[in-house]
Structure 1
Amino acid sequence: MSYSDVRELRTALQTATDIAYGWEANPPVDQLAEVSDALRRALASVRAMESELGGTTGCREHPRGAVDPLYGDKDDPLPPGWGRCLLCNDRRRRAASGRRAAR
Structure 2
Amino acid sequence: RQLFGLVEDLNTLPLRSRLAKQLLHLGRSYGVPSLSNAQEVRISLHLAQEELAQLLGASRQRVNQELKSMEREEAIRIEAGGIVIRNREALLRISEAEQ
TM over 0.5: no
TM-score interval, smaller chain: under 0.3
TM-score (norm 2): 0.23
Q: Which structure: greater strand fraction?
A: 2
Q: Which structure: greater helix fraction?
A: 2
TM-score (norm 1): 0.23
Higher relative contact order (CA closer than 8 Å, sequence separation 6+): 2
